[in-house]
Structure 1
Amino acid sequence: MGTERTEKPACRIRGMVRAAVMLGAGLAVGVIIRFFDLYTTNLGNMFSELSVWVFLGTVISVRSRTPFQAAGAVFGFCFGMLAAYYTTARLTHSIYSPVMARGWWAFSLLTPLLGYCVWHAGGRGRTARLLAIGIIAVIPAAAVLLFDRLRGRDLLLMALTGAVLYREQRGRIKGKARCWRGGV
């Protein structure tokens, strides 16, 4: 009977604040990335690839207190980023591919599930290790399948993503689930 988890009201408020902060961060990043596309070639190309977003989503997810908070935070960030990016593109009368836009919007609808799974990759055990390996393997696979080749920045982002996941697996913070009964 003592195993059920009940959320404290203060934690719900913190979760909503975090989701709003992630939405705001996504909005800011979306505008910045759109201007990178307009005024720089290399940064615009880099932020058009999936590896950067896998890394950022991984960081957001594993630093969340619960898997549901990870799902909400990653979705808020991705939704905000895409909304700001495409709104800025329309306001600046920029040309963008509707096919790419639909692809990114479809991807953003999957981010709550992905954030939930990535949060578990930061844990301990065989399942967490398998999830972490899968996340790291997505980076080179997406680079080759979607963008024709593996680049140096993809290798760097693979290493950084692996470091974030490994760090979380080795030292999962005991207070990570402080909002649940029995926590501090």
Structure 2
Amino acid sequence: MQRRPFSLRRNRHGFAAFTAPKGDGRLHARPHDEESANGPLVSAIVPAYNAAKTIDETLRSVRAQTYRNLEIIVVDDGSKDETAAIAEAHAGQDPRLRVIRQNNAGVAAARNAGILAARAEFVAPVDADDIWAPAKIARQLSLMKENPNATLCYTWWACIDHRGRVTGYGGRPCAAEMLSRRCAAPIWSAMAAAR
């Protein structure tokens, strides 16, 4: 089986997008530079409500990032299932991870609580049912460094079924004009500078 990484394409507006690999339909990472231990801190924000079926795999994918200088903030939004216990178990295994509990206020309030608690220069939201490719953060940071005036970047994404097979792709290049009109990029694949 040949493994091919996502590729980076720049559009005519200077924005970049990661494109998905062709082939076996699985996501694969490529090696990155070794500065991840000394690079800027990135906060991964995970709002979660009754996500016991998915949050374990989500947190495994975030913890497995090739870029290591992460703080991982899970905001349990008043879950009635084992979401908080699963997140706490991960926190017990990884000092980069902490859990904030709040009464149910909705995903936006949970995400905002995580952003307010973040200490990092960059914030990367991730929903509790998402799985990140291993080099997602490393590649987004690299893009942000190449474009120092950029305050946001995002990736294309793949839809994955319950067996781990890619069933489709989403996302598209987003011009500055679209962003200025508040046509948002997909938050679950974004990274933003906390400026």
Q: Shorter-chain-normalised TM-score: which range?
A: under 0.3
Q: Under a length normalisation based on structure 1, what TM-score does the superposition of the two structures give? A: 0.27
Q: Which one has more relative contact order, counting CA pairs under 8 Å at least 6 apart?
A: 1
Q: Under a length normalisation based on structure 2, what TM-score does the superposition of the two structures give? A: 0.26
**Which has the larger strand fraction?**
2
Q: In terms of Rg, which structure is larger?
A: 1
